[in-house]
Amino acid sequence: GQQVMQIPQYQHVQEGEDFTTYCNSSTTLSNIQWYKQRPGGHPVFLIQLVKSGEVKKQKRLTFQFGEAKKNSSLHITATQTTDVGTYFCAGLGNQFYFGTGTSLTVIP
Amino acid sequence: SAVISQKPSRDICQRGTSLTIQCQVDSQVTMMFWYRQQPGQSLTLIATANQGSEATYESGFVIDKFPISRPNLTFSTLTVSNMSPEDSSIYLCSVVTGIGYGYTFGSGTRLTVV
C-alpha cells in the first residue's frame, strides 16, 4: 500500500542552524500538506502544495513539492526555540496519509 | 478555519470499560475524521463520519470497537469500547473546512487504560 516516509526521524540542532525534513511517497500525490505538532499539542496545518515543482515560503520556512510529485521538503532557516516540535507531511494519493514525522529539538 | 472543542482532554480508564469522546465544531462540516496517534507515532485514520449515514472505517478498525455517532453537522462522538491497555493512545477528531485549508484538529484526548 501507499506509504509516506519522512527522514530524519529525529533532528537536534543548535539554535540558529538550519533544518530540513524530507518526505517521500511510494506513489504520486495529488497534493502535499505540512503540519506542526508542538510537544503535548495537536497537529496544526502549515501549508498545502499542489503543483509539480511548487515552492512556497512562510517567513523562515520553505516548502517544496518535487517535480514527480512523490516527494517534498520543509526547510527552516536559522532555527529558533519556538520551532521545536514534530513536523508531519501528509499526502493525498489513493488515500490521505500522514508521514512518519520528524521530531525537531532546538538547543538554545 | 474551524474551531473544535474536544473532550475529555484526558482520562484514565479501567480495562473492559468504554469511553466516549466528544467533538463540537463551531461551523457545519460535511465530514468529520477520527484519528489515533500512539505516543511518538504518526496519525492513523480510524474512520470518517458523515451526518446521516454510517461511518466509514479504515482497515483494522471496526464499528463494534469504535462506534461513532454523527447526529448533526457540528457534532460527533467516538466510543472506545471494551478497552484494553493497547487502546492507550491519543484520539483526535478533525475537519476540513475548505479547499486548501488542510485539517483542523481538536486538542485531542489522551487515553490511558490500566
CB distance A44–B45 less than 8 Å?
Answer: no
B29-50: average pLDDT: 94
Tracing cell 480508564 back to the chain, one arrives at: B13
Residue A35 pLDDT exceeds 90: yes
How deeply is B4 buried, as exposed, middle or buried, from its count of CB atoms within 10 A (0-12, 13-18, 19+)? buried
Tens of pLDDT along B91-106? 999 999 887 789 999 9
Q: What is the predicted pLDDT for the residue at A96?
A: 84
Q: Is A74 on the interface with B (CB under 8 A)?
A: no
Measure B65 CA to nearest chain A CA, in Å.
Answer: 22
Distance CA A31, CA A60 (A): 22
Q: What value does the mean pLDDT take over residues B15-44?
A: 95
Q: How many C-beta atoms surround the C-beta of residue B64 within 10 A?
A: 7
Asked if the Cβ–Cβ distance from B104 to A45 is below 8 Å, we say yes
With a pLDDT cut of 70, the percent of chain A lying above it is: 98
- Average pLDDT score over residue span A6-33: 96
Residue B39 pLDDT:
87
Chain B nearest C-alpha distance from A54 (Å): 14
Query: What totals of helices (H) and strands (E) does chain B contain, helices first?
Result: 0, 11
Q: Do A42 and B43 touch (CB under 8 A)?
A: no
Min Cα distance B106 → chain A (Å) is 7
Residue of B nearest to A10 (CA): B40
Cis peptide before B85 (omega within 30 of 0): no
Condensed to tens digits (0 to 9), the pLDDT of residues A52-82 reads 999 999 999 999 999 999 999 999 999 999 9
Model confidence at A30, in pLDDT bands (50, 70, 90)?
very high
